[in-house]
């Protein structure tokens, strides 16, 4: 079940632009599961749906609700290629925050572009990324982050700065994997270049990035 509300709606705007089905300003949409609990809630300043069902969202703010955690997602714009919220393409100033409900521990991720697969609760990007936890800041190029399993992979050029009171130390590797459930990092010598190439191809096709 999906509920949609908006303060301003103009639909069937074929007279002014035949490519636009409808537009919503300051909209809010909720997806409920079979038990009528909220799966996710999406808000934004404007939603434009085109005749081919591609949907453009301005200033999206997506909340994902899970039993043990919540995930908040923001970006300047987002593209939903199918119009069915199966996967969305986040563009510019992408911010992802995962917080555990029991202890309030959070993990924040920043990047410029990202693909979010809604049903899998999976983020992917081939761009530079920064991950901030309670005791460290980690940077790298490329990301695959499964919010359900809590397994976060920085695909290449990984660098982690660990804070310990007034001191800090640096760990570097070609790839790093973070288990958010155990709050544990693993360093690998080999970069995940094959996965990064697949993500690059999809991102380039969608955003027309050369």
Judge whether 20 lies within some domain. no
Domain holding 105, by residue range, is: 53-207
Distance CA 34, CA 97 (A): 26
pLDDT at 207: 60
Write out pLDDT tens, residues 57-115: 999 999 988 777 788 999 999 999 888 889 999 999 999 998 876 777 788 999 999 99
Judge whether 43 lies within some domain. no
Judge whether 6 lies within some domain. no
Judge whether 23 lies within some domain. no
Judge whether 48 lies within some domain. no
* CATH number, domain with residue 130: 2.60.450.10
Q: Structural domain tally of the chain?
A: 1
What phi and psi, each to the nearest 5 degrees, are found at residue 196?
-65, -40
Q: Which residues contact 83 (CB under 8 A, 6 or more apart)?
A: 49, 53, 54, 55
């Amino acid at each position: 079940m999906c509920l949609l509300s908006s303060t301003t709606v103009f639909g069937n705007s074929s007279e002014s632009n035949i490519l636009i089905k409808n537009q919503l300003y300051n909209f809010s949409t909720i997806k409920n599961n079979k038990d009528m609990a909220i799966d996710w809630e999406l808000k934004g300043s404007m939603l434009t749906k085109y005749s081919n069902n591609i949907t453009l969202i301005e200033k999206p703010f997506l909340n994902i609700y899970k039993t043990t955690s919540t995930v908040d997602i923001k970006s300047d714009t987002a593209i939903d290629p199918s119009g069915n919220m199966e996967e969305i393409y986040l563009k510019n100033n992408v911010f992802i925050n995962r917080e555990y409900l029991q202890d309030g521990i959070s993990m924040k991720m920043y990047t410029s572009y990202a693909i979010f697969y809604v049903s899998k609760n999976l983020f992917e990007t081939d761009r530079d990324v920064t991950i901030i936890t309670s005791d460290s800041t980690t940077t790298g190029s490329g990301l695959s982050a499964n919010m359900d399993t809590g397994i976060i992979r920085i695909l290449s050029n990984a660098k982690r700065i660990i804070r310990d009171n007034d001191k800090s130390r640096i760990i570097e590797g070609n790839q790093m994997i973070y288990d958010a459930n155990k709050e544990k990092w693993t360093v690998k010598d080999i970069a995940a270049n094959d996965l990064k190439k697949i993500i690059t191809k999809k991102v380039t096709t969608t955003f027309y990035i050369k």
